[in-house]
Chain A
Amino acid sequence: MTIDLEGIKKIYQIGTQEVAALNGIDLHIKQGEFAALMGPSGSGKSTLMNILGCLDRPTVGSYKLDGKEVAYLGDDDLAKTRNKKIGFVFQNFNLLSRISALDNVALPLVYAGKSRRERAERAYHFLKAVGLDTRANHQPNELSGGQRQRVAIARALVNDPSIIMADEPTGNLDTKSTTEIMKIFIDLHEQGKTIILVTHEPEIAACASRQLLVRDGVITRDAGRGEKMDVV
């Protein structure tokens, strides 16, 4: 069991009012699953994503990642967990603009304390895997949107994480690039990677082996591949 959420609640204090962004989530995601997380805005899916990605802590509940309780770790331990176990792909790529594609891909390895040579080798390997080895020394602003997202995927993969977290990875891309990127995710799934993909597009969600619908802070539907889910 890769991900094991048990009674996760996230409660925000707004003035004197308590607002539950997540209201009791139980979720199990197995090794090698490709799960799409859907939901309208305000449903709590971003909060769930942040907790799954170890960027945030739940108010109550238990989150076991690879069997280890990570729900209430300190900031630095969360950072180390993110570094080792989670690869992020963001909607707006979030690449550092001043450094080359290769250095961007190598960035997680810097914080993992790998040697310069190992970093360069591994970064190059993963850039090649997403078909951008010829663009290694280009800066992000010299790349197209699709290429940037591929760099971001290479970066997510470079430290061999347990989970790939993709937050609307195709939200800023045209149709052609979207197809390319989704093909990469499907390939990764076939290679046995665990992927969690946040999206509001049913076509994208349909690529996943499992579809989860979040609404009002709870998971309201949990379906298999191909089932049509109406988000709204």
Chain B
Amino acid sequence: MLFNESVMMALKALIANKLRSILTMLGIIIGVGAVIAMVSIGMGVRKNVQDSIASLGSNMLIVQAGAPRVNGVRQAAGSGENLKLDDSDAIKKKIKNIDYVAPSVQKSYQVVNGNQNWNTTVYGITSEYMAIRSLTVNSGSFLTENDITTRARVAVIGATVASNLFGSTNPVGKNIRINNDPYKIIGVLENKGQSAMGQDQDDCVLIPVTTAMERLMALTSIRTINVQVSSAEKIDQVQSEIETLLRQRHRIENPVNDDFQVRNLTSIMETMTSTTTMITMLLGSIAAISLIVGGIGIMNIMMVSVTERTREIGIRKALGATFNNVMMQFLIESIVVSVIGGLIGIVVGCASAMAISKFGGFNTVITLEPILLSFFFSVGIGLFFGIYPARKAAKLDPIEALRYE
């Protein structure tokens, strides 16, 4: 009973004291708004990091040529020459739960266009590389299967290379020289920016792996095979299958003598995600403090309101209001303040998150959870901080209250 009445009474009381109600709500508005804005910034940071890790390829295994022993001296990792294109094909054919297999070689070259030159890394790759590294072509096209089999002298270049060699003109269709051989540019990659490790991902030239091995670098072995596993749960299983397969092919009995190594990016991803989650929590909890301060503001005003309206409480009790009736009236009043404040806070929070991403240069991601969480938190705060003043009102002795001036 009386619930609707109490809400109506609360609204009337709030309207009667407009300025005070708005100031009280302001605490909650700022609190909820800050939580939403801060968490959206945190989520934005997390998304940035996740994207940049995903751009290395998600669910990735990296098979690298091992460090060979030369007279007992271990050489640099990746300098071994036992990893062949055949190994890559074998992985592709024999192992399940794999989306893409992309063998690659890489080496630094001075790349020349007319009187411009640029030192960059040339990658010999296959067409799967594009999918595995989530690359997109800004203009032109990517390497095709045909380019690989024909060992075509074609290249796809990164944005950094394009701007250094060609300035603002479109390089597609032009030629560049790598190691004095001409390569026709068939595409320019979409700008990817820096990787999570600070590496410029646009500073690269991609050519067919066959061309790279046989025409440019004169190699018989490949350096890395990027393997994309179909799901995160399968990564460990696929990793050990690849290790077993390569040991068979390379006739290695003792894993200590492996001439390759298989690494995965999951652990990096996990570390990064947990770090950014912590940042988000930190930002959110700092903002939550302002929500609690807002709650104390509500309590403060409710205490004043109870004292001011002692006589009203006395009248209501004399006319038959029970403890619960009075308690409900004041509790609902503080909840109404926090609900309205919370709703306005949601609008303010979302608006400021958008403003931050538009003008502040931060990437923000607005998600439903912080909105719901901070809203219900603010309602809870209204309830919690409303209980004491409401109890105080409800416990007033009607005789004392009626006598109150």
- On A, residues with C-beta under 8 Å from B are 50, 53, 55-56, 75-76, 79-80, 82-84, 88, 90, 94-96, 98-99, 107-108, 110-113, 155, 159
Contact = CB atoms under 8 A, between A and B. Distances in A.
Contact of B5 (A79, A90, A95, A110): A110
B320 A82 contact: yes
A176 B138 CA distance: 94
B312 A96 contact: yes
Interface string B1-16: 1100100000011001
B317 interface: yes
Contacts of A99: 12
Interface string B61-94: 0000000000000000000000000000000000
Nearest to A165: B318
A155 to B, nearest CB: 7
A88 B319 contact: yes
Given A98-B16, A113-B1, A90 B321 contact: no
B323 interface: yes
B336 to A, nearest CB: 16
Contacts of B398: 55
A76 B323 contact: yes
B402 interface: yes
B315 interface: yes
A2 to B, nearest CB: 19
Interface string B302-343: 000000000110111111111111000000000000000000
A82 B2 contact: no
Given A79-B320, A84-B320, A96-B315, A110 B2 contact: yes
Given A50-B399, A55-B398, A98-B16, A113 B2 contact: yes
Query: In the complex, which range does the number of interface residues on chain B fall in?
Result: 20 to 34
A84 B322 CA distance: 13
A65 to B, nearest CB: 14
Contacts of A108: 319-320
B243 to A, nearest CB: 76
B13 to A, nearest CB: 8
A110 to B, nearest CB: 6
Given A79-B322, A79-B323, A113-B2, 10 more contacts: A50-B399, A53-B318, A55-B398, A75-B322, A82-B320, A98-B16, A108-B320, A111-B2, A111-B321, A155-B319
Contact of B319 (A56, A75, A76, A107): A107
Contacts of A95: 315
Give 4 closest A-B pairs by Cβ, nearest first: A83-B320, A111-B320, A76-B322, A108-B319
Nearest to A56: B399
B402 A90 contact: yes
Interface string B44-69: 00000000000000000000000000
Contacts of B321: 79, 111
A169 to B, nearest CB: 15
B319 A111 contact: yes
A110 B3 CA distance: 11
B403 to A, nearest CB: 10
B325 A111 contact: yes
Contacts of A50: 399
Contacts of A111: 2, 316, 319-322, 325
